[in-house]
Amino acid sequence: MQKLTKQDLHSLEDYSQMRDEFRAQIIQHKKNRILKIGPNVTMHFEDRLVMQYQVQEMLRAERVFESASIQEELDAYNPLIPDGANWKVTFMLEYPDEIERAKKLRELIGIEDQTWVQVSGYDKVFPICDEDMPRETSDKTSSVHFMRFELASEMIAALKQGAALSVGIDHSKYPHTIEALSDSIRESLVADLD
């Protein structure tokens, strides 16, 4: 999947005219890229279109139009675009109550490393997490982690031939598994693989 360049972006003026339509497109697109695992974890499978939207929104919010500042935004978001043999995921622990959230973040240390994807017939694939910076301390985990799931070529071939895909978390305080993703989500994710 190609990274974004300045040529892929719209000017602030053009974006303001198309923003509502683009936002509606993104909402529909994300329906097949967001996966709820149990009651409190959401995995957002990122891709080029979602990152384009994020960059456009940042440029709009900050009124950025200078070339160097636009490039800074691209440099920040491009690493979240899959490379053709992986999935890039924003992993979110969601507890609305502040007291419960603080308690769970202490209990769930290491949850990001115990999250996995599995192509039917192959071993689980655990992610490479938080490559940009540490997001966990000895006292607690973060409510947001960035993950990269690297897939072997045989797994990609099996997925393209229709193999089932499951996702889960093996943490003792939050064990959850989705045995087989829906066809629409599975197809959206397989489209990321070159």
The two structure tokens encoding residue 163: 């193999």
Cβ partners under 8 Å of residue 52, min gap 6:
4, 8, 9
pLDDT in tens, 30-44: 999 999 999 999 999
Looking at residue 131, what is its pLDDT? 82
Domain boundaries, the chain: 6-190
What band does 89 get if pLDDT is binned at 50, 70 and 90?
very high
pLDDT digits (tens, 9 = 90+) for 125-157: 999 998 877 788 889 999 999 999 999 999 999
pTM over 0.95: no
For the stretch 115-129, pLDDT in tens is: 999 999 999 999 999
Q: End-to-end CA distance of the chain, in Å?
A: 7
**Contact between 115 and 126 (Cβ < 8 Å):** yes
Residue 162 DSSP label: T
State percent of the chain over pLDDT 90: 91
CA–CA distance, 177 with 38 (Å, rounded to integer):
8
Nearest CA to 55 out of 27, 75, 33 is that of 75
Please write the tens of the pLDDT for every residue from 97-114.
Answer: 999 999 999 999 999 999
* Closest alpha carbon to 178 in 91, 109, 116, 125: 116
Predicted confidence (pLDDT) at residue 14 exceeds the cutoff of 80? yes
- Structure tokens that stand for 16 in this block: 């303001």
DSSP-derived 3-state class of residue 178:
strand
